[in-house]
Amino acid sequence: MRPKNLEKEEAIRSIALQIIAEEGLENLSMQKLAKAANVSPRTIYIKYENKEDFLIKLFIDEVLGSYEKAVMEKFNPDMGFAEGVKKIWTNSFRYFKENRHYYVLMQYGKSSPLLNKAYQDRDIKEGDFFTPIHQFLQLHMKAGNIIKLPVAAYRAILFAPLFDLINEYFEHTTRPKQIITDKVLADSCEAVVNGLLV
Amino acid sequence: MRPKNLEKEEAIRSIALQIIAEEGLENLSMQKLAKAANVSPRTIYIKYENKEDFLIKLFIDEVLGSYEKAVMEKFNPDMGFAEGVKKIWTNSFRYFKENRHYYVLMQYGKSSPLLNKAYQDRDIKEGDFFTPIHQFLQLHMKAGNIIKLPVAAYRAILFAPLFDLINEYFEHTTRPKQIITDKVLADSCEAVVNGLLV
DNA sequence: CAAAAGTAAGTAAACATTCATTTACTTACT
DNA sequence: AGTAAGTAAATGAATGTTTACTTACTTTTG
C-alpha cells in the first residue's frame, strides 16, 4: 500500500495558515489552497471530509493544540501567582513571535461562529482546554492571594491584554520602531497581576 | 426624481450584520444579503462600489462610528482615572448588550486583514480614532497618577479584558445562569484600574 | 498485484457584478 | 388643478467566474 506523503499534508496546512493570515479566512478557497500547496484538490479531500472539517482541524489541532503545548512549557499550577502569570505571558509571546501565521487564525477563533463553536465543543468534551491554568487560578483564589472573581474574569483580565499587545507588536514589525519591547510586556504583565492581588 | 428609500439602506446594513453574527463574515454573499434584505442585488451596487467597499463602510461607519459615539457619552478627558475607565466600561457594556450584532463585526475587525487595514487607514487619516480616550490616558500619565507605559499598552490592559467579558456574557445568555453580572464587571474594572495606579 | 494515494479534468451550484428596463416621484408648464 | 417631461431609485434576469466537491483514471508502494 502506498504510504501517505506527510510533506503534502504539512504543505496544505501551512499554506492554508499563510493564506488566512495574508488574505483572510473569507478568501481561503479549497482550489486556491490546492494550487498554492501544489496538490490536487482531491488530495485535500482524501485527508479531510470537507472544508468545515479541514478548518476545524486546522484550528483545533494545529493552532490551539500547539499553542497549548507551548504555553504550558515549564509552567505548573503550584507556581507563585506573579511568577506563573509571567511564565504564560513570556511563553505566549515567544510562541507567536515564532509562529506569526498562527496568531491570525487564533483571532478568527474569537469571531468566526464556525471556529468559535468548534472551540466550545472541544472545551466541553475535553474538560477545560487549559486545565493547568484553571487549576492555577482556582488555587490562588482559594488561598486568598487574589480577589474573588469567576475564572472567566481572571482569564479576561490576565490574558486578553497579552493578545492585544501581540497584535500591536506585529503591526509594528514593519515600522521603524518597535514599541512593544520586552520591558513594556513585563511591565504590563506586572500591572495586570497587581490589579488582582489582595 | 424618485426619493431614496432609507429603509432599504438600513435593511441592507442591519441584515448584513445579522448574517455575519450568525453565519460568519466568510458566509456573507451579496446575493444572499440581497434576498434576505428583500432587495435586488443591483440595489446594493447603487449604494456601494463593491463588496469590499460595502464591508469597509459597514465596519467603519456603522459599527466603529456608532460605538465611538456610545462610548464617549458623558465621558470627558478630565475625569478621574478610575471614574473615567469605569464610564467607558459601562458605556461599552450597555452598547453591546443592546447591539449584539455589532459585537461580532467588531471582533472581525481584529482578525480580517481587510477590516484591520481599513481601521488602521482610518486611524491614521483622522488622527487617533478615540482621541478623547487618548488624551485622558496621556493626562493621567503626565500627572503621574499611573505607571508609565505606551498608550497601546494602557489600551490593552484597560479595555481588552472588557471585550473578553462581553463575549463571555453573550455566551451565557443562552445558559441558565449569567456569570458576567454587573458586580463582576465592576470588580474586574476596578482590578485593571488598580493595576495601573502608582 | 492489491490497495490506498494521488491526479487532471470535470460537475452543478453559488458567486460578484452588470445590463436593460421599469418605477416613483418632482417639477415646470399648461 | 391637471399633466407630461425629466430623473434618480430600484429592479429581475443574465453575465462570466469561482466555488466546494467528484469522477474516472494513474502512480506508488508493500
pLDDT, tens digit, 9 for 90 and up, residues A119-141: 988 888 887 889 999 999 999 99
Query: Residues B133, B95: one domain?
Result: yes
Rounded to whole angstroms, the Cα distance separating A71 from A132 reads 10
Task: With respect to residue B113, please indicate whether it lies within any of the assigned structural domains.
Answer: yes
Can you give the distance from the CA of residue A62 to the C1' of nucleotide C17 in angstroms? 37
Q: Which nucleotides of D are covered by protein (CB under 7 A)?
A: 6-14, 18-24, 27-30
Closest CA of chain A from B45, distance in Å = 20
pLDDT tens for each residue of B120-172: 888 888 888 899 999 999 999 999 999 999 999 999 999 999 999 999 999 99
Residue A58 lies in a domain: no
CA distance A17 to A82: 33
Q: Judge whether A26 lies within some domain.
A: yes
Interatomic distance B129 CA / D19 C1' (Å): 37
Give the Å distances, CA to CA, from B135 to B71, B79, B89, B129, B140: 15, 11, 17, 12, 9
Q: Assess if residue A147 is contained within a domain.
A: yes
B25 contacts A153? CB cut-off 8 A: no
Q: What cell does B45 get? A: 451596487
Residue A38's CATH number: 1.10.10.60
- Whether A53 is covered by a domain: the verdict is no
Same domain, A77 and A114: yes
Domain contains B55: no
A42 lies in the same domain as A71: no
Q: Which residue has the higher pLDDT, A185 or A8?
A: A185
Out of B22, B150, B192, name the one closest to residue A157 (CB). Answer: B192
All three cell numbers of B137, joined, read 490616558
A4 pLDDT exceeds 80? no
- Each residue's pLDDT tens digit, A84-119: 999 999 999 999 999 999 999 999 999 999 999 999
The answer to whether residues A8 and A83 belong to one domain is no
The answer to the question of residue A78 being in a domain is yes
Are both A74 and A35 inside the same structural domain? no
Does A12 lie in the same domain as A84? no
Q: Same domain, yes or no, for A7 and A75?
A: no
Count of domains in chain A? 2
Same domain? For A173 and A76 the reply is: yes
Q: How is B104-141 classified by DSSP, letter by letter? A: HHHHHHHH-HHHHHHHHHHHHHTS-TTHHHHHHHHHHH
CA distances from A95 to A81, A165, B96 (A): 21, 14, 32
Residue with cell 456573507: B28
- Please give the nucleotide, over all strands, whose C1' is closest to the CA of residue B42: D11
**pLDDT tens for residues A10-26?**
999 999 999 999 999 99
What are the tens digits of pLDDT across the range A42-60? 999 999 999 999 999 999 9
Please give the pLDDT value at position B190: 98
For position B125, which CATH number holds? 1.10.357.10
DSSP alpha helices (H): ranges in chain B?
6-23, 30-36, 41-47, 51-57, 66-71, 81-98, 100-111, 113-125, 131-142, 151-171, 182-196
Q: Which nucleotide is nearest to B6 (CA to C1')?
A: D9
To test the contact with chain A by mutation, choose from B20, B22, B26 the residue with the greatest count of A C-beta atoms within 10 A, namely: B26
Residues with CB under 7 A from strand D: A 1-3, 28-32, 40-42, 45, 50-52; B 1-5, 8-9, 38-43, 46-47
Whether residue A81 has pLDDT greater than 90: yes
Establish, for the pair of chains A and B, how many residue pairs have beta carbons separated by less than 8 Å.
133
Whether B192 sits inside 8 A of A192 (CB atoms) is: yes
Range of the domain at A124: 64-196
Name the β-bridge partners of A197.
A146
DSSP-H helix ranges across chain A: 6-23, 30-36, 41-47, 51-57, 66-71, 81-98, 100-111, 113-125, 131-142, 151-171, 182-196
What angle do helix axes B182-196 and B151-171 make, rounded to 10 degrees? 160
Tell me the sheet residues that pair with A146.
A197
Q: Which residue has the cell 488622527?
A: B127
| CA A72/CA B14 separation, integer angstroms | 42
Nearest neighbour of A161 by CB, restricted to B120, B147, B160:
B160
Cα distance between residue B197 and residue A194, in whole Å? 10
Q: For residue B1, what pLDDT is reported?
A: 66
Q: Are residues A40 and A81 in the same domain?
A: no
Q: Are residues A71 and A30 in the same domain?
A: no
Per-residue model confidence (pLDDT) at position B30:
94
Going by the DSSP 8-state scheme, the letter that residue A60 receives in this structure is I
Amino acid, single-letter form, for residue B115: L
> Beta carbon of B6 within 7 Å of strand C?
no
Residues A34 and A72 in one domain: no
| A19, A96: one domain | no
Residue A167, domain member (yes or no): yes
